[in-house]
Amino acid sequence: MTHARPETGTGSAALRRLVVVGHGMVGHRLVEALDSRDADRQWQITVLAEEPRPAYDRVALSSCFDGADESALRLPEHDPGRVGLRLGDPACALDRAGRTVLTASGDRVPYDALVLATGSRPFVPPLPGATAPGCLVYRTLDDIAAIRAAADKSTTGRGVVVGGGLLGLEAANALRLLGLTTHVVEMAPHLMAVQLDEGGGALLGRMVGELGVTVHTGTGTQQVLTDPETGAASGVELTDGTFLETDLVVFAAGVRPRDELARDAGLEVGERGGVVVDETCRSVTDPRVWAVGEVACIEGRTLGLVAPGYAMAETVADRLLGGEAGFPGADTATQLKLLGVGVASFGDAHATTPGALEVVLNDPVAATYGKLVVSDDARTLLGGILVGDTSGYPLLRPLVGSALPADPATLLAPESAGGAGAGGGVAGLPDSAQICSCHAVTKGALTEAVTEQGCADVPALKSCTKAGTGCGSCVPALKHILEAAGVEQSKALCEHFDHSRAELFEIVAATGITTFSQLVAEHGRGRGCDVCKPAVAAILASRDSATHILDGERGSLQDTNDRHLANMQRNGTYSVVPRVPGGEITPARLIVLGEVARDFGLYTKITGGQRIDLLGARLEQLPAIWRRLTDAGFESGHAYGKAVRTVKSCVGSTWCRYGVQDSVGLAIELELRYRGLRAPHKLKAGVSGCARECAEARSKDFGIIATEQGWNLYVGGNGGFTPRHAELLACDLDHDTLVRTIDRFLMFYVRTADRLQRTAAWLEALEGGLDHLRAVVMDDSLGICAELDAAMERHVADYRDEWRGVLEDPAKLARFTSFVNAPDTPDPAISFAVEREQPVPVPGPVSLGMPQLPAADGAGAR
């Protein structure tokens, strides 16, 4: 069967064909980088992937054992209209003369340029028994599944990991989490010999030992013994004679580049493997072939880390579009947490530079080890190792190659003693120092983002520069840069409160205060302002849906739109947006909307949220309009509020031939459940009945997409200024679990977000991110779920239509008059023009000085 994509219909004559072999982390990055830069669509991209699933975050593979599910690891999807991704169809031969790739399915895919991104395979030493059942490796999601299955049926209850490097220790942690007694065998005298010296390795070994993992260093593996009956692994014999009974062995003894395609096709490969490329990642043998990631042999070696792979991907993307980029050189610095122990290693960690000096701070009591390698004159930092406390890493790593800002011992001292961890270091960094190695962002670029582009917090820096969006290890340094640039990270809401919105929420919850006056008198100062009054009004409303937002003093707190339950337009008129749950509306109701609009002379427009906006109502008309609407069964749509707006839906399984669930029914249910819920910002939602995603649910604060088994829940998306796709919080939920999870997500957001912080920014700033959110709302890690559930139950029970509340109360109706001394006189300052047969505000520039006043007698003149 062939799946060749038609090459017609793209309309571009200059279209060239790029084939990428391997959809791992680096192949994925290459496609993303090319897609985002290739504005005129010069390249048509085909990706041949061996694995049955699209690229995922291999670096975070071990989080699968901490409760993350597979979907959480998935990397952003490529635009399917742009990239042909063939899963489970690996390349098996290259025909360089004919410029085609032969795939396992027998297809021949032609290319103009070919990128090899095939990564590495785990190295399994050729020992007796090493391929027996029960002997596994640790690189892919399938490997994870195999390890899990083997652990489940293990009868020895013991697992052995061969290899005490980074991967071995991750595997050891996995076995431990699966409930096995775990042993690690390492040939070198200490753990993580590549990254650590003896002192650091010894401390790590001790700390790992305290977690119950038995470490055997300085010894090799002799053989794997097998059960004579089943042929499966039954034990491991070490070279020192130790015998360990086990039916599960994981080999993590290094990797080898997957360069077999290249070898067979006659491309030059390195001495220890890897496709030999120049500094632009181009094969030295064939200019149409490139190699990136672990399969590339660059500067004479292969690199087993993701950051240099990303740098190669960026280089090739740039070159394919005619750019001049070159590989910036490998940064092999690493910082990780292994079995909960922080480990960092950077630069010339092993002091191989001639004359290099080492400064060591070893504190076995505090369980920290630090070493800095400096030049012979002790002026320049060359590298270092940190075990235990790695807080100094984000500041020390960028210093490599530059002058030391303080003496080395001081830099190694713990934060409290003014060490690098304290943040003093960032000021001493040169502008050229790379702060974020994942995205190659320098201190200079970050400082400029703060001073020139007005980035005032970490999320802003992230979206502006991409720094901090990779491994995240540089985030503390970003904070220091903001501080160094003098950006005050004050959380005070305004001059009247020193608290953040989240803190005020907690104060209100703890004290039971129900009025702004009392809150500002007891916890703030002055009379409030346009910042704190609406914020507090929303907090009070979030906690108490039974009290009308215009009751008593609350009426004076509301912002422009909430004040009259309608959105104020540029000419001082208002819009009317009744709720149309899920976008489903009967013809009779649709006619009522038309009649009301006609009778009151309103401009009408369909909104993006699947409802109808009636614009141009004068303040004094609002009650009469809403009386007609409520009589017809309409309710407030809260288009004016920082509140739940709409739950958009596609037609779903009731009508659609593709739908797998009733998306309309769910959307209506959710919209009715959450209507009127006040929040720090507006909330939008969507429900799609199948993966085609017609409701655009992933651009919403919470989006639900039907699956065959249930519902996938995505959170933290938005359109608007900085569009962002929602991220997958949970998969295949049944109805009740779905609703409960959304309840908690919303209430947790309402409780902890900043003023005017949408869910996307909130999630970005949330410490621990999506994982933390998942832990809080699904595993109740903070023990607050009962409170969140109760708060939502209260909201649902207490909800009342706000417009009905106004129509029933003469005191509130009095607000809806044009003039206190001429209640029905239309304001003469409001007028309309006509455009495309509808009334619109009189166009004209918005004046920035004093308006022309009738009968002016010098007012405002100065």
Partner 1 sequence: MKTPAPAGRKVTTMTATSTMNTTTTMTTSPTADWSAVCPLDALPVEQGRAALLPDGSAVALFRLHTGEVHAVGNLDPFSGAPVICHGIVGDRDGVPVVTGPLGKETFELATGRCLDAENVRLPVHDVRLTGPVIEVSTRRNTVETLVGGG
Ligand X SMILES: Cc1cc2nc3c(=O)[nH]c(=O)nc-3n(C[C@H](O)[C@H](O)[C@H](O)COP(=O)(O)OP(=O)(O)OC[C@H]3O[C@@H](n4cnc5c(N)ncnc54)[C@H](O)[C@@H]3O)c2cc1C
The reply to whether 473 sits near ligand FES by the rule CB under 6 A is yes
Instruction: State which residue, 63 or 239, has the beta carbon closest to ligand X.
Output: 63
Q: Rounded distance, CA 565 to CA 815, Å?
A: 11
Segment interacting with partner 1 (CB under 8 A) among 601-609, 641-649, 726-734, 822-830: 822-830
Strand 296-297, strand 275-276: pairing: parallel
Strand 711-715, strand 702-706: pairing: antiparallel
Which of ligand FES, ligand X, partner 1, none lies near 474, with the C-beta cut-off 5 to 8 A by kind?
ligand FES
Instruction: State which residue, 193 or 360, has the beta carbon closest to ligand X.
Output: 193
The reply to whether 467 sits near ligand FES by the rule CB under 6 A is yes
Q: Rounded distance, CA 185 to CA 171, Å?
A: 12
Closest CA to 318 of 284, 286, 282, 294: 282
Q: Which of residues 826-855 bind partner 1 (CB under 8 A)?
A: 827-830, 844, 846-851, 853-855
Phi, psi of 601 (to 5 degrees): 65, 45
Furthest C-alpha separation in the chain: 108
* Residue 608 in tokens: 């993006």
Q: Which residues of 574-600 are buried (b: 16+ CB within 10 A; e: fewer)?
A: bbbbbbbbbbebeeebeebbeebbeeb
Instruction: State which residue, 471 or 485, has the beta carbon closest to ligand FES.
Output: 471
Q: Rounded distance, CA 497 to CA 836, Å?
A: 48
Q: Rounded distance, CA 775 to CA 744, Å?
A: 11
The reply to whether 102 sits near ligand X by the rule CB under 6 A is no
What Cα–Cα distance (Å) separates residue 49 from each residue in 29, 455, 719, 854?
14, 39, 32, 74
Phi, psi of 105 (to 5 degrees): -80, 0
Which of ligand FES, partner 1, ligand X, none lies near 468, with the C-beta cut-off 5 to 8 A by kind?
ligand FES
Q: Which of residues 572-611 bind partner 1 (CB under 8 A)?
A: 572
Which of ligand X, partner 1, ligand FES, none lies near 641, with the C-beta cut-off 5 to 8 A by kind?
none
User: If 0-12 CB within 10 Å is exposed, 13-18 middle and 19+ buried, where does residue 826 land?
Assistant: middle
* Residue 191 in tokens: 């753990």
- The string of DSSP codes covering 558-609 is --HHHHTTSEE-TTS-EEE-B--GGG---HHHHHHHHHHHHHHT-EEEE-TT
**CB 822 to partner 1: min, Å:** 5
Instruction: State which residue, 469 or 515, has the beta carbon closest to ligand FES.
Output: 469
Which of partner 1, ligand X, ligand FES, none lies near 472, with the C-beta cut-off 5 to 8 A by kind?
ligand FES
The reply to whether 470 sits near ligand FES by the rule CB under 6 A is yes
Instruction: State which residue, 233 or 477, has the beta carbon closest to ligand FES.
Output: 477
Among 555, 665, 769, 839, binds partner 1 (CB under 8 A): 555
Which residues are bridge partners to 555 per DSSP? Answer: none
Among 529, 632, 651, 731, binds partner 1 (CB under 8 A): 529
Site string (31-60) toward ligand X, x via CB under 6 A: -----------------xxxx------xx-
Site string (485-524) toward partner 1, x via CB under 8 A: ----------xx--------------------x-------
- CA of residue 112 relative to chain centroid, distance: 34
The reply to whether 472 sits near ligand FES by the rule CB under 6 A is yes
Segment interacting with ligand FES (CB under 6 A) among 343-351, 463-471, 568-576, 630-638: 463-471
Which of ligand FES, partner 1, ligand X, none lies near 568, with the C-beta cut-off 5 to 8 A by kind?
partner 1
Under 8 Å between Cβ of 765 and 457: yes
The alpha-carbon radius of gyration of the chain (Å, integer) is 32
The reply to whether 645 sits near partner 1 by the rule CB under 8 A is no
Q: Rounded distance, CA 50 to CA 142, Å?
A: 12
Which of ligand FES, ligand X, partner 1, none lies near 559, with the C-beta cut-off 5 to 8 A by kind?
partner 1
Q: Rounded distance, CA 25 to CA 76, Å?
A: 11
Which of ligand X, partner 1, ligand FES, none lies near 304, with the C-beta cut-off 5 to 8 A by kind?
ligand X
Under 8 Å between Cβ of 527 and 551: no
The reply to whether 527 sits near partner 1 by the rule CB under 8 A is yes
Segment interacting with partner 1 (CB under 8 A) among 114-122, 286-294, 559-567, 674-682: 559-567
Which of ligand X, ligand FES, partner 1, none lies near 126, with the C-beta cut-off 5 to 8 A by kind?
none
Which of partner 1, ligand X, ligand FES, none lies near 473, with the C-beta cut-off 5 to 8 A by kind?
ligand FES
Which residue type occupies 657?
Answer: R
Number of residues that bind ligand X (CB under 6 A): 36
Which SS3 state, helix, strand or coil, does residue 48 take? strand
The reply to whether 818 sits near partner 1 by the rule CB under 8 A is yes
Number of residues that bind partner 1 (CB under 8 A): 53
**CB 292 to ligand X: min, Å:** 7
Q: Rounded distance, CA 750 to CA 54, Å?
A: 35
Instruction: State which residue, 271 or 857, has the beta carbon closest to partner 1.
Output: 857
Strand 603-606, strand 214-217: pairing: unpaired
Among 164, 168, 304, 717, binds ligand X (CB under 6 A): 304
Under 8 Å between Cβ of 159 and 249: yes
User: If 0-12 CB within 10 Å is exposed, 13-18 middle and 19+ buried, where does residue 454 land?
Assistant: exposed
Q: Which of residues 116-145 bind ligand X (CB under 6 A)?
A: 117-120, 138-139
* Residue 573 in tokens: 């008129």
Which residues are bridge partners to 108 per DSSP? Answer: 102
Phi, psi of 684 (to 5 degrees): -125, 150
Segment interacting with partner 1 (CB under 8 A) among 3-11, 548-556, 578-586, 785-793: 548-556
Q: Which residue is nearest to ligand X (CB)?
A: 24
Instruction: State which residue, 517 or 709, has the beta carbon closest to partner 1.
Output: 517
**CB 521 to partner 1: min, Å:** 11
Each as own residue / partner, the long-range contacts of residues 489-492 (CB below 8 Å, 24 or more positions apart, any chain) are: 489/457, 491/754
Instruction: State which residue, 29 or 554, has the beta carbon closest to partner 1.
Output: 554
Among 191, 436, 726, 760, binds ligand FES (CB under 6 A): 436
Phi, psi of 614 (to 5 degrees): -110, 115
Segment interacting with ligand X (CB under 6 A) among 115-123, 494-502, 692-700, 782-790: 115-123
DSSP label of 224: E
Count Cα atoms within 13 angstroms, Cβ side, for 225.
11
Among 34, 47, 250, 438, binds ligand FES (CB under 6 A): 438
Q: Which of residues 163-182 bind ligand X (CB under 6 A)?
A: 167, 170
**CB 123 to ligand X: min, Å:** 12
Angle between helices 25-37 and 306-320 (to 10 degrees): 30
The reply to whether 445 sits near ligand FES by the rule CB under 6 A is no
Instruction: State which residue, 454 or 526, has the beta carbon closest to partner 1.
Output: 526
* Residue 84 in tokens: 């042909």
Q: Rounded distance, CA 486 to CA 616, Å?
A: 45
Under 8 Å between Cβ of 252 and 171: yes
**CB 763 to ligand FES: min, Å:** 17
The reply to whether 468 sits near ligand FES by the rule CB under 6 A is yes
The reply to whether 703 sits near ligand X by the rule CB under 6 A is no
**Can you give the binding site for ligand X, defined by CB under 6 A?**
21-27, 48-51, 58-59, 61-62, 90-91, 117-120, 138-139, 167, 170, 258, 261, 293-294, 304-307, 309, 334, 336
Q: Footprint of partner 1 on this chain (CB under 8 A)?
A: 495-496, 517, 526-530, 532-534, 553, 555-557, 559-560, 563-564, 568, 570-572, 814-815, 817-822, 825, 827-830, 844, 846-851, 853-862
Interacting residues toward ligand FES by CB under 6 A: 436-438, 467-474
